[in-house]
Amino acid sequence: MIYHDTISFESEGGFYTLNVTEQIRDILRTSKISNGIAVVMYQHTTGVVMIIEHEPGILLDLKHALEKIAPTNGEYIHHFRDVDFNGFAHIRNAVMSSSLTIPVIDDDLALGRYQEIIVLDMQPEPFLRKIVIQIMGE
Amino acid sequence: MAPIKSIIFYLSGIVVPPLKDCVAASMPGYSKIDFSKKRALLKSTADLSMGKALLKDYLHEVISIGDLTLDAEKLEKEVLGHIKVNHDVLEVIAETEKLFKPVFICDYPSAWSQYLAEKLPSNKQIIGNTIFTDQMDLKDLELDLLEKTIKPLGYSPEYCLWFDAYEKRAMDALTYGAHAVIFVDARRLRREFVLREILPPLDHE
């Protein structure tokens, strides 16, 4: 059986995070799939989905680490076309992950005690955003 | 780690829903409202929380943005009707009250304080210890709020533990020098107290 759904949200932009773990659990319950896999994909190119502990210190550390990898005010060839100026967000997206695969075992996501599914949007401005969830199994 | 001397809860998102969610739930067809109007509504809600807008004017703005047919009084009742109290969280907070006198920050209009007191009948101490953001003369609901909350407590930020459902403000609290926790649910709230040895673990933990 294959089931899919989406989660839409209004990102504030900047370094916007959203914990979607419980929403995905709700979707899993609706799917009535007990065992299989769940795929969670962020449908944009300026953000990621990740599994981390939802702790503000980790988020701040991540923000600082990403600032070193792709600085917000860095120079990006992407900006030459003069359309948008979010090169840092695209590079961070490319080096991180747009999707996750999570085992579904006995009616639940097989997440560890401290693991949460967090969406991180790095687009500088507020936007409507969407993640897609597909669950396959029986 | 410095010992925690004060615990601060940003009520919205922890004990009661965020004001913006109560307002959105009172607007039929909110999901179809233009994104720019939603942003405008968000800004107006923040202005109300900071005392920069009158409740009456705000309600009229919501009616206009949502193209609603009800009057301001009925809309206010609708919004108040969407305030649901998270009693599981209150139970965990009550466990800490033997050790701390928690401070609560509320971004609802202070005009609703009586209504909130009635909604929280077994937790009148919350209202007694609540600071309403619309009475704080704030520049913003983030760093300025942190400073104006923590400084009067008389403790250095490192002695304060800030709970917030809004990630950005929790991160700001850390940057400010306080300890901070992103609120998820009552179970994980308790876990945070156990990790800091403020509460003992439950038998099954």
Neighbours of A47 (CB within 10 A): 26
- The first and second tokens of residue B174, run together, are 């850390």
Task: Answer yes or no: do A19 and B182 touch at CB < 8 A.
Answer: yes
- In this prediction, residue A32 carries a pLDDT of 97
Q: Where are the alpha helices (DSSP H) in B17-54?
A: 19-25, 35-49
- Check CB contact of A112 with chain B, cutoff 8 Å: no
- Chain B: residue whose CA lies nearest to A115: B188
- In this prediction, residue B129 carries a pLDDT of 86
Residues of A in contact with B180 (CB under 8 A): 56-57
**Which residue has tokens 């829903």?**
B17
Task: Answer yes or no: do A55 and B182 touch at CB < 8 A.
Answer: yes
- Check CB contact of A88 with chain B, cutoff 8 Å: no
Rounded Cα distance between B157 and A120, Å, is 27
Choose among B132, B177, B130, B174: nearest CA to B155.
B177
Tens of pLDDT along A110-128?
Answer: 999 999 999 999 999 999 9
Task: Answer yes or no: do A126 and B39 touch at CB < 8 A.
Answer: yes
Tens of pLDDT along B45-78?
Answer: 999 999 999 999 999 999 999 999 999 999 999 9
Residues of B in contact with A57 (CB under 8 A): 174, 180
- Check CB contact of B194 with chain A, cutoff 8 Å: no
Task: Answer yes or no: do B171 and A60 touch at CB < 8 A.
Answer: yes
According to DSSP, the residues that pair with B180 across neighbouring strands are B162
Q: Give the DSSP H or E segment for A120.
A: strand A116-121
- In this prediction, residue B122 carries a pLDDT of 63
Tens of pLDDT along A22-78?
Answer: 999 999 999 999 999 999 999 999 999 999 999 999 999 999 999 999 999 999 999
Name residues 45-84 of chain A within 8 A of B (Cβ).
Answer: 54-57, 59-60, 63
Task: Answer yes or no: do A59 and B171 touch at CB < 8 A.
Answer: yes
> How many interchain CB pairs under 8 A, A with B?
37
User: Does pLDDT of B95 surpass 70?
Assistant: yes
Rounded Cα distance between A133 and A18, Å, is 15
Q: What are φ and ψ of residue B126, in 5° steps? A: -60, -50
Residues of A in contact with B184 (CB under 8 A): 19, 54, 116
**Which residue has tokens 């419980």?**
A22
**Which residue has tokens 């319950």?**
A29
Rounded Cα distance between B148 and B135, Å, is 11
**Count of alpha carbons within 13 angstroms of residue A138, beta-carbon side:** 0
Residues of A in contact with B181 (CB under 8 A): 55-56
- In this prediction, residue B205 carries a pLDDT of 61
Q: Give the DSSP H or E segment for A67.
A: helix A56-69
User: Does pLDDT of B183 surpass 90?
Assistant: yes
Rounded Cα distance between B202 and B190, Å, is 9
Residue B134 in contact with residue B109, Cβ under 8 Å? yes
- Check CB contact of B170 with chain A, cutoff 8 Å: yes
Residue B176 C-alpha from the chain's centroid: 19
Residue B128 banded pLDDT, cuts 50, 70, 90: confident
Residues of B in contact with A16 (CB under 8 A): 168
Mean pLDDT of chain A: 96
Choose among A32, A33, A7: nearest CA to A18.
A7
